[in-house]
Amino acid sequence: MDEDKLFYNRLLDLARKRDDKNVPTFSKFLGMEEQVGLKFKSAAFWGGYEGAGRKLIMFLPDWAEESDFYDCIAAVKITSSDKKVYDHRDYLGSVMGLGLKREVIGDIAPCDGFAVMFCLSEIALFIKENLTQVAKSTVSAQILDSLDGIDIKQNYLEIRGSVASARIDCIVSFLKNTGRSAAAEMLRTGYVKLNAKEIQDTSKLVKAGDVISIRGLGKFIFDGETGTSRKGRAIVNLRKLV
């Protein structure tokens, strides 16, 4: 059985458990590319705050209200001794160094003088008690009761431009600022993923909500076409995760 099938079957098992036992069930955190195209009856995505990238799926019985189970995710405030806000990879590397898997960690959002890490509630206390260093700085961790008064910054960069069409090779060419032939070669050699899968079909059309990953460049959300230029090129909007 391939990996995609196993992934979907794990989610389907959670939906069946909800139906059989009439209780809410929850997935682990899913990347944005994993969320694309997922549709389940009476299920909701939640990442700890509005606009989150990484989210889990709540499979809810008919009697349950979505907001009653938002506390399945905790927010942990991480403050360094020098008040410096480090790179996302530094925070993630530090918690994974404690033996935690990526799937139990959601977004890591930079704020003014600290960062907020979203995680499964069941491991929040472990992070609070064991996370003592990020990069080379001593840190303290605090489990937040709410996000009141905290400005969670958007962790993406808006990108707008024109392309010949919404084909994947055109989008990659635009993002990489290179020619179509070079973009096609990147696709053929496995440098590009579309919704977490390597793609070699240069003519594949990208749809709104798709997530494009380019090795060495980053991850982008395609927000779709917003018009046509005077030269007949498609105007596209994307967001780069930073």
The three state secondary structure string of 17-58 is HHHHHCCCEECCCECHHHHCCCCCCCEEEECCCCCCCCEEEE
Strands 133-134 and 211-214: unpaired
CA distance 101 to 92: 10
In this prediction, residue 154 has a pLDDT band, given cuts at 50, 70 and 90, of low
* Contact (Cβ atoms closer than 8 angstroms) between residue 166 and residue 175: no
Question: Residue holding tokens 């682990």?
Answer: 28
Q: What amino acid occupies position 40?
A: F
Least trusted range by pLDDT, from 85-89, 118-122, 137-141, 169-173:
85-89
Q: What is the CATH number of domain 72-143?
A: 3.30.70.330
pLDDT, residue 39, reads 84
- Residue ranges of the domains in the chain? 3-69, 72-143, 156-241
Q: Tell me the H-state helices in the chain.
A: 3-21, 32-35, 88-96, 124-130, 168-176, 180-188
Strands 25-26 and 105-110: unpaired
Q: What is the CATH number of domain 3-69?
A: 3.30.1370
Q: Does residue 2 register a pLDDT over 80?
A: no
Q: What's the Cα-to-Cα distance from 185 to each of 162, 182, 199, 215, 231, rounded to whole Å?
A: 21, 5, 11, 13, 27
In three-state secondary structure terms, 214 is strand
CA distance 93 to 100: 10
- Residue 204 has which token pair? 């594949």
Give yes or no on whether 3-69 and 72-143 have one common fold: no
Q: Residue range 125-145: average pLDDT? A: 96
**Residues in the chain, total:** 242
pTM over 0.85: no
Q: Which CATH architecture has domain 156-241?
A: Roll (3.10)
Residue 190 CA to its chain's centroid (Å) = 21
In this prediction, residue 1 has a pLDDT band, given cuts at 50, 70 and 90, of low
- Residue 121 has which token pair? 């509630």
State the CB neighbour count (10 A cutoff) for residue 235: 14
Q: Does residue 153 register a pLDDT over 80?
A: no
What is the average pLDDT value for the chain, to the nearest integer?
Answer: 92
